[in-house]
Amino acid sequence: MKDASTLKTSNSWRFTGNELKYVKEVLDSGFGSSTSGNMNQRLERAFAERFGVKYAVTSNSGTSTLHQALVAFGVGPGDEVILPALTVVMCGYAVLHVGAKPIFADVDSKTFLMDPSDVEKKITIKTKAIMPVHMFGQVCNMEAILKIAKNHNLYVIEDCAQCYLGTDSRGRIGGTIGDIGSFSFENSKHLSTGDGGILITNNEVFAERMRKFGGLGFKNIKAENGQVRKNKDVFQDPLYLRHDAFGWNYRLPEVAAAVGLAQVERIDYLVSKRQQIAYKYLEAIERTGCDWLVPQGVPLGAVNSYYTFAVRYEGEERLGISWYEFRRKFMELGGDGIYAALALIYNEPVMQMISGSGRFFHDIEGQGAILKGFVENAQCPVSEKIQKKLMLFTSNQGIEEDMNIQMNALEKAINYFGRR
Ligand SMILES: *Cc1c(COP(=O)(O)O)cnc(C)c1O
């Protein structure tokens, strides 16, 4: 067997802070609390402080968080929630989970993000909330989205799973602009606890509902406090009634929260590393004068947190070089790989199935009958077009040497095709 110290991977650089120390604290305390609170509380306080918000609520995933937010808004059967077509399927799942219909908005061809003018077009009398998703690390046009929300009296849940500390053109941090911000600690994200998530808001009512819903509806749960067992004599009384709200168990394990606390302590560093490599990719594109790789457009004054470096590949039309061919060459030249953008949500077989027959599984009769027909009229031509063109370059190289390998591979690949 290999010594653990030799098992370090290219991802190890992300977990070299207080992670082990805090995990040990949790185990040494037998999953108890110290005077400074348990790990979930400490993580929540640190996160809320860094984002400058009143409340933070931990969760077991960045999908659960979306579910909690929609529940807090009171979204349910008969309602519609508008989200971009170009995002992860989990955004649609969360909407379906509360029995509402996902309605798909198109994206902007320059920013690859939810297009406010298409959002406006898709509003109906049933619309209850908008879910802008800050894809690839960049905050959506929140100015326009908030204006629409205000005019139509809609809630706004920002999905920031891919956007930590990204800001809009007015310098506002993604997640602090709408009613609620949702983050994921899944392992590919800027901050990771293996799996996990967190919600932020300045709204006390929403915070309490989200915490209660994620914590099985215990009546002691408050907006700023997840502590359930307060007074033994009360808690051990046979007449004691515990639950005054409905909920799932979406709690984040203490061991994961310990890792999360250490990650939040280094949040600026972790984000800056991703930005550093993105700036190197940008440099390579600039140096070569390449105009057939079009990077995600960053509005003036905005800051992209670069979960991944996203570009629109126009080499197929311009040079006759296929997406696949460019990717192959990039990797041949030492590049780490290029991801495609995920298929549009409404093109995924699961969405077709639920929308068509109300089934959640192909071999069980309709469990979601009320949700039928939400993909039939889904029309997002820009999303359709650019989804196939997007190239997502990895940005999780922690050390300069690895970043330069990526940058050089990109530069060489551009020159290889561009100079023929
Ligand atoms: C990762 C991700 C999620 C879901 O997060 P999980 O923690 O994996 O459930 C939601 N939205 C976006 C945009 C994501 O990238």
pLDDT at 32: 79
**360 CA from centroid of ligand 1 (Å):** 20
pLDDT at 12: 81
Same domain, 283 and 246: no
Is the residue at 7 inside a domain?
A: no
Same domain, 224 and 321: no
Looking at 236, 267, 298, the residue that finishes a domain is 267
Q: Encode pLDDT of 88-146 as tens digits.
A: 999 999 999 999 999 999 999 999 999 999 999 999 999 999 999 999 999 999 999 99
H or E segment to which residue 119 belongs? helix 116-121
- Please give the Cα distance from 252 to 46 (Å, whole number): 16
Same domain, 252 and 281: no
Same domain, 25 and 52: yes
Residues in the chain: 420
- Here the CATH number for the domain that contains residue 86 is 3.40.640.10
Is the residue at 373 inside a domain?
A: no
DSSP letter at 187 equals T
Q: Chunked in runs of 10, what are the mean pLDDT values of the chain (420 residues)?
A: 54 90 94 79 97 98 98 96 98 96 97 98 97 98 98 98 97 98 97 98 98 94 78 88 95 97 98 97 96 96 98 96 97 95 96 90 80 86 97 94 95 87
Same domain, 201 and 292: no
Active site residue 388: no
Is the residue at 359 inside a domain?
A: no
pLDDT at 307: 98
pLDDT at 1: 46
- Here the CATH number for the domain that contains residue 314 is 3.90.1150.10
Is the residue at 377 inside a domain?
A: no
CB atoms within 10 A of CB 320: 9
Same domain, 135 and 24: yes
Is the residue at 392 inside a domain?
A: yes
pLDDT at 228: 65
pLDDT at 366: 76
Question: Which of the following is catalytic: 189, 273, 389, 412?
Answer: 189
Domain that holds residue 157: 12-267
Is the residue at 360 inside a domain?
A: no
Same domain, 263 and 314: no
- Residues with Cβ within 8 Å of 391's Cβ and at least 6 positions away in sequence, in order, are 293, 310, 311, 312, 313, 323, 326, 327, 338, 339, 340
- Please give the Cα distance from 196 to 266 (Å, whole number): 17
Ligand 1 binding pocket includes 305 (Cβ within 6 Å): no
pLDDT at 35: 67
Collapsing DSSP states into helix, strand and coil, what is residue 170?
coil
Is the residue at 283 inside a domain?
A: yes
Looking at 267, 294, 321, the residue that finishes a domain is 267
**161 CA from centroid of ligand 1 (Å):** 5
Tell me the two tokens of residue 2. Answer: 């290999």
Concatenate the DSSP letters of all residues of 32-69 into one string.
--BTTB-HHHHHHHHHHHHHT-SEEEEES-TTHHHHHH
Q: Of 325, 330, 322, which is closest to residue 281 (Cα–Cα)? A: 330
Q: Encode pLDDT of 74-86 as tens digits.
A: 999 999 999 999 9
Is the residue at 32 inside a domain?
A: yes
* Sign of the dihedral defined by the CA atoms of residues 179, 184, 189, 192, in that order: positive
- Ligand 1: residue of 70, 90, 107, 163 to mutate (most ligand atoms within 8 A of CB) is 90
pTM: 0.95
- Please give the Cα distance from 70 to 358 (Å, whole number): 21
Q: Of 313, 415, 405, 383, which is closest to residue 112 (Cα–Cα)? A: 383
Ligand 1 binding pocket includes 91 (Cβ within 6 Å): yes
Same domain, 224 and 335: no
Same domain, 302 and 334: yes
Same domain, 170 and 198: yes
pLDDT at 234: 86
- Please give the Cα distance from 278 to 222 (Å, whole number): 41
- Ligand 1: residue of 64, 87, 134, 159 to mutate (most ligand atoms within 8 A of CB) is 159
- Please give the Cα distance from 394 to 412 (Å, whole number): 17
- Total structural domains within the chain: 2
Looking at 227, 250, 267, the residue that finishes a domain is 267
Same domain, 300 and 391: yes
Same domain, 302 and 201: no
